[in-house]
């Protein structure tokens, strides 16, 4: 037994040292060779049976570790089927990205707003969830011409080489998308990771000039210094209270448990040779997100968390997501540039936010925030289809875009930050 554990440990060490070269076969063949030499050494001078016995743990270890080297999912990208309720288009952007685009035109029987609204979804590098699509349809029903695109590498958008997944590329893709749309400055609603992209875009004058009004909803850390901040989150979430997500998990398969686990720990590069990028996207399942989904809801909603997506639509590029997050952590402060932006912006903060409060207040401190909306009764996933949550989120968004009085007070302001962190953490 100790020999099996030792060989398996050597295999994992070699996976790390070789960065999973050749789907792990480089490590596997090295372990096999070392095991054969060790078995021959241990069996020297013994009877035939005695010489064969040292090979038993080698055979067991070789069989166990071989499961890490054999793909269980297709190694070329398999895209989700098109949705039945919206047309999927593909646009080639000037950055070289080819993205899946969705449009929800304004309702024909009501007022139409002249400025298009572009939605930047969370993730990063995943499909736009069905919950998001429903919310975009609600906004379109109120007269907005709504566009959304899936970031390169996620959903139905084409993959990029792994080293091209950077937060700066995401910013350039936004500018290129607005240019491709060709309708002048647009309103932009950025949620979670999309809010990071939008915040950083406001700190880039050329991109900020393309944005008419900006809505920064539940942002993560906007730059490296902000990412280093640890602090309190919002009211308790449902993370440790909700039932575990059901369904298949790629991490129950040894190959993907090893690959995703070592990538998450930083022991394998996102561009590891163990699994291809396409294979990793094909393998990752909604249940692999674990408690992340529940953390986006208030504790009071633990027993009624809705299905955010369908198995057919769900897609998440875990390696590319980690790569983009690393480029955020490696980036310098954008606060000085962000403070010079004059694009009208609104910040949305959830009561049960799973984001660090100081990530959100860092935006409030640096950016030109005309209005902050503290959203009671919701978690990070503010539009979630529960009760009137979608309608309440739409009400504050449309009020800001139209320059009207909000149904909620402007809170917190910069002057309120200390009290807010004390009272709402």
- In residues, how long is the chain? 425
Q: How far, in Å, CA of 363 to CA of 215, rounded?
A: 12
d(CA 259, CA 267): 10
> CA torsion angle for 356, 360, 245, 388 (degrees, to 10)?
140
Q: How far is CA 328 from CA 179, 193, 210, 324, in A?
A: 24, 11, 22, 6
| CA gap 52, 46 in Å, rounded | 9
Q: What are residue 120's DSSP bridge partners?
A: 190
Which residues, in sequence order, are CB contacts of 6 under 8 Å at separation 6+? Answer: none
How does strand 89-92 pair with strand 98-104? antiparallel
In angstroms and rounded to an integer, the radius of gyration of the C-alpha atoms of the chain is 25
Which residues, listed in sequence order, are joined to residue 146 by a DSSP beta bridge? 104, 117
Give the C-alpha distances (Å, rounded to integers) separating 15 from 71, 272, 273, 409.
15, 10, 9, 55
Half-sphere exposure of 409 (CA within 13 A, CB side): 4
Residue pair 154/282 in contact (Cβ under 8 Å)? The answer is no
C-alpha span between 158 and 293 (Å, rounded): 25
DSSP code of residue 136: H
Q: Residue 306's closest CA among 192, 180, 390?
A: 390
Tell me the C-alpha distance between 378 and 141, whole Å: 23
Helical axes 389-401 vs 130-141, angle rounded to 10°: 50
CB contact at 8 A, 218 and 192:
yes
pLDDT at 349: 97
3-state secondary structure (DSSP) of residue 43: helix
pLDDT tens series, the chain, 425 aa:
667 778 888 889 999 999 999 999 999 899 888 878 877 777 666 666 666 666 777 788 888 889 999 999 999 999 999 999 999 999 999 999 999 999 999 988 878 999 999 999 998 999 999 999 999 999 999 999 999 999 999 999 999 999 999 999 999 999 999 999 999 999 999 999 999 999 999 999 999 999 999 999 999 999 999 999 988 889 999 998 988 888 889 999 999 999 999 999 999 999 999 999 999 999 999 999 888 899 999 999 999 999 899 999 999 999 999 999 999 999 999 999 999 999 999 999 999 999 999 999 999 999 889 999 999 999 999 999 999 999 999 999 999 999 999 999 999 999 999 999 988 76
Residues 6+ apart with CB under 8 A from 115: 185, 186, 187, 212, 213, 401
Separation in Å, CA 39 to CA 1, 54, 373:
14, 5, 68
> What's the rounded Cα separation, in Å, for the pair 108 and 260?
47
DSSP 44-73: TTS-HHHHHTTHHHHHHHHHHHHTTTS-SS
pTM score above 0.75:
yes
Distance CA 219, CA 345 (A): 13
Looking at residue 210, what is its pLDDT?
A: 97
Distance CA 365, CA 281 (A): 37
Cα separation of the two ends of the chain: 49
What is the pLDDT at residue 2? 64
Q: What is the pLDDT of residue 243?
A: 86
Residues 6+ apart with CB under 8 A from 161: none
């Amino acid at each position: 037994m100790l020999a099996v554990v030792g060989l398996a440990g050597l295999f994992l060490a070699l996976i790390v040292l070789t960065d999973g070269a050749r789907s792990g076969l480089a490590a596997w063949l090295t372990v096999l060779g070392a095991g054969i030499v060790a078995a021959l050494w241990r069996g020297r001078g013994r009877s035939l049976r005695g010489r064969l016995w040292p090979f038993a743990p080698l055979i067991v270890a070789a069989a166990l570790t071989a499961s890490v080297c054999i793909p269980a999912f297709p190694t070329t990208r398999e895209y989700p089927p098109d949705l039945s309720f919206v047309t999927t288009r593909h646009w080639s952007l000037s950055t070289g990205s080819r993205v899946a685009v969705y449009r929800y035109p304004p309702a024909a029987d009501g007022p139409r707003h002249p400025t298009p609204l572009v939605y930047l979804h969370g993730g990063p590098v995943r499909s736009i969830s069905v919950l998001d699509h429903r919310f975009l349809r609600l906004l379109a029903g109120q007269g907005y011409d709504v566009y959304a695109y899936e970031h390169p590498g996620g959903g139905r958008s084409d993959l990029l080489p792994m080293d091209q997944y950077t937060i700066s590329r995401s910013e350039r893709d936004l500018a290129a998308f607005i240019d491709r749309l060709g309708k002048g400055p647009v309103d932009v609603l950025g949620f979670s990771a999309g809010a990071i992209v939008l915040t950083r875009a406001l700190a880039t004058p050329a991109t900020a000039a393309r944005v008419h009004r900006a809505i920064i909803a539940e942002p993560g850390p906007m730059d490296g210094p902000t990412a280093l901040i640890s602090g309190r989150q919002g009211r308790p979430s449902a993370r440790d209270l909700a039932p575990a997500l059901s369904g298949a998990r790629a991490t129950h398969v040894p190959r993907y448990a090893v690959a995703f686990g070592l990538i998450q720990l930083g022991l394998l590069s996102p561009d590891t040779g163990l699994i291809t990028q396409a294979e990793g996207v094909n393998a990752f399942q909604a249940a692999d997100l674990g408690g992340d989904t529940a953390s986006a809801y208030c504790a009071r909603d633990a027993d009624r968390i809705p299905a955010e997506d369908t198995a057919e639509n769900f897609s998440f590029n875990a390696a590319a997501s980690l790569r983009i997050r690393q480029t955020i952590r490696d980036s310098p402060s954008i606060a000085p540039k962000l403070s010079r932006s004059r694009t009208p912006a609104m910040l949305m903060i959830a009561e049960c936010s799973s984001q660090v409060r100081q990530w959100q207040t860092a935006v409030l401190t640096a950016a030109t925030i005309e209005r902050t909306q503290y959203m009671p009764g919701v978690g990070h996933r503010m539009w979630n289809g529960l009760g009137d949550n979608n309608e309440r989120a739409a009400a504050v968004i449309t009020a800001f875009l139209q320059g009207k009085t909000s149904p909620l007070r402007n809170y917190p302001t910069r002057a309120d930050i200390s009290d807010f962190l004390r009272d709402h953490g």
